[in-house]
Structure 1
Amino acid sequence: MKAIVTVGLKPGVLDVQGKAVAGALKDLGFGGVQDARVGKRIEIQLDGNLDPATAEAQVREMCEKLLANTVIESYRVEIAS
């Protein structure tokens, strides 16, 4: 079983990397770009014997303890079979 965690800055938190990406895309001629946000995707391979609810709970705990800075970042967990 695989867990996919998507982490990104919370709304209102300045995303310097996102601003740089948006500016670079505009400079490359992509005039329709208004804004960009940069985040990260983490794939975790889990023991296949876990039920999906337990797996999700464990991954959320991982996010709270290590994978996301919950003061400025939010995260989404997806469990894939």
Structure 2
Amino acid sequence: MNVSKYPTIGYLESLQPEFYKLVSKQTIIEVIASGHNWTEGPVWSPKEECLIYSDVPKNIAYKWTEQEGAKPFLNPSGYSDTI
């Protein structure tokens, strides 16, 4: 049984059996941060042991760590609303 200190939501489902060679069927989806409008990313930085993702409409990139949670990392993050 998977136990999480974070709220969980939904489940993973794949129509491709190969997916389960990479991700366990028992994997749980944890909500590690909230209050965002629309997030993109994420990318894991093994060197810094952090997750980096952005909230595009807010124009902020966040850095998440197990110890500190989500904190602004780059503000503004570069979104200019122009092409």
TM-score by length of 1: 0.25
TM-score by length of 2: 0.25
Which structure would you say has the larger RCO, counting Cα contacts within 8 Å and 6 or more residues apart? 1
Q: Could you say which structure has the larger radius of gyration? A: 1
